[in-house]
Amino acid sequence: MHEFAVARALVDAAIDIARESHIHRITRLRCRIGDMRQVDRWLLDEAYALAREGTPCEKAELCVERTHMQLECKACGRLFSVIDWDWRCPDCGRSGSNARGGDELELTGIDGEPTDED
32 falls in which pLDDT band (50, 70, 90)? very high
In terms of Cβ atoms closer than 10 Å to its own Cβ (0-12, 13-18, 19+), residue 51 is: buried
pLDDT digits (tens, 9 = 90+) for 87-111: 999 999 999 999 999 999 999 999 9
2-112 folds as: hypothetical protein PF0899 fold (3.30.2320)
Domain ranges of the chain: 2-112
CB of 29 within 8 A of CB of 60? yes
How many Å apart are CA 34 and CA 103, to the nearest integer? 5
Q: What is the pLDDT of residue 115?
A: 78
Q: What is the pTM of this model?
A: 0.84
